[in-house]
Each structure stands twice: as C-alpha cells, then as structure tokens.
Amino acid sequence: MELNEIFENLNNKQDNQLNKFELALKKALNRLNDLIIANALEDIKNPLEYDFKFNQYLQESGYYNVINNFVDNGLDVVYGDIVAALSVGGLAVSFSKEDITKIEAIKRLNLQKFNDLSVPTINKMKDSIYKYSLSNLSVSDITNGLRSSLVDSDLFKYSGTYANTIISDYTQSIIDLKSSEADGVWIYDGPSDKVTRPFCNCVLNQKKYYDDSEKSKIQGDKRRAYNCRHIFLLVTEEYAIDNGYASGSASC
C-alpha cells in the first residue's frame, strides 16, 4: 500500500471517530442543558454547592463517558495505520510494553485537557447561579440566563475543537515516540482540501524533507495550531528523495 493510501485511510478513520464523537457530545450537552434547567430553582437555594452539583450533572448527562470513550477507544483506530506508514517510509518499528505504557500516559494527558474545560465552565455557571439567587428575576429569565451561560461556556464551545486537535496530536505523539530510535528525516503530510489552512498548503506544496530542528519550527508555528489535521512522518532519506522530496527548510 502506498503512503498516500495509508494517510487517506488514516484521515477517514479520524473523521469517522470525530463524527461519532460530535454526535455523542451533542446528545450529552443537550442532556446537560436539560438537567441544569430542570434543577435551576432548587440549585439557586444553595449556590455555594453548585460546583459539586454541576459535576454531578456532567456525570449524569454522559459527558464524561463520551470523553472517556473517545480517548480510550477512539484514538486507537489510528495505531495500525501509523505502524504501516512508518514501515512504508522505510522504518520497521515495533512497540514495546514500555511504549504502550507511555502511550497510555499520553491518553491520560489528553483526557486531562478535556477535564480542564470543565473548571472555567463550573466557575461560570456557579457565578450565574449565585447572581440569580440574589435576584428577583422570573423563572423564565433565570432558566434562559443559565442556558445562555452554558452555551457560551468553554465546555460547549471548545470540546469539539479539542477532539480535533487531540486526535492529530495523539497520532504525532506515537510517531515521535519512536523517532529517537530511528535514523530518518521528516516529511509533512495530510489532506489538501478546501478547509486546509494556507500555511499547511504551502508546506505541503513545497514537498521538502526536514531535520528535527526544522520540524519543530514548523510544528510550533501558530498558523497551524488548533484543528490541524497534518502530521510529520519519519521516513528514510532514501525514501524521501525517491518520492520527490528535496532537503531544505520551509519558507511559508
């Protein structure tokens, strides 16, 4: 199988997992909204306990289950394609028990990124509950206000973005995990379509291969930050040259 076929499979699997995640996330967030509204009048009686209550609503809504399933299972679909891509690029690698332990640690770090979204959201909702506990607003005004606060929260706005970023970062982390054991160069790969950023298109079109320093420079460029679907793949220099890549640095 050619490298472009492997990446196409990889991207399709990533898109499929993200679509499943977004559907499950939408259901969980709708249930979360319903729980908040249904308990609003009772919750404003004890605003200082709302952080505990909100965490309970996150659990009951299924939000944590959706996140855990995505991190524990959804990320693993890319594993076989990564090994295949490294092999096609001329680098036969295997993953030891120690590597698997490190991969699990990477998952836990990614899970924490999602969990961190809940902290500012809890504080935001707690502030709203406290404000409404001191007001004379109608039930309708209170529930509408809480709904607006939730929709404007980090949890609502960024969970999907985090998922897109995490699945790409996870793929790159697994590749990077083996890079220190192999002698190779880096090529930039991934989709080129109507939603690809101009910076990424520029790097793709230049078709160069890079050393570690240049890879880090491109990888850290703010123009490819969140939601980037592209990765650096380690290949042998011979493979890079045979497939039309030239040594150099990106000038985008």
Tell me, yes or no, whether 35 and 103 share the same domain: yes
Asked if residue 173 and residue 234 are part of one domain, the reply reads: no
Based on the domain organization, do 106 and 124 belong to the same domain?
yes
Place of tokens 């036969």: 92
**Residues 53 and 175 reside in one and the same domain:** yes
Segments forming the whole domain that contains residue 210 = 184-252
Task: Return the residue matching tokens 């693993």.
Answer: 76
Last residue of a domain, one of 122, 147, 182: 182
Instruction: Say if residue 84 is exposed, middle or buried (CB neighbours under 10 Å; 0-12, 13-18, 19+).
Output: middle
Structure confidence at residue 222 as a pLDDT band (50, 70, 90): confident
Question: Which of 147, 182, 217 marks a domain boundary?
Answer: 182
Q: 222 and 147 in one domain?
A: no
Asked if pLDDT for residue 1 goes beyond 70, the answer is no
The per-residue pLDDT for 39 is 93
Q: Are 227 and 161 in contact (CB under 8 A)?
A: yes
The count of other CB atoms within 10 Å of the CB of residue 74 is 24
Within this chain, do residues 85 and 155 fall inside the same structural domain, yes or no? Answer: yes
Q: Which helix (H) or strand (E) holds 184?
A: none
Which has the minimum average pLDDT: 30-44, 76-90, 204-218?
A: 76-90
Residues 247 and 190 in one domain: yes
- Residues 75-118 have pLDDT tens digits of 888 878 888 888 877 777 777 888 888 888 988 888 888 888 88
Q: How far apart are CA 168 and CA 66, in angstroms?
A: 18
Same domain, 191 and 178: no
Total count of domains within the chain: 2
Same domain, 200 and 171: no
Residue 247 and residue 174 in one domain: no
Final residue of a structural domain among 123, 153, 182: 182
Q: Is the dihedral of CA 99, 238, 191, 229 positive or negative?
A: positive
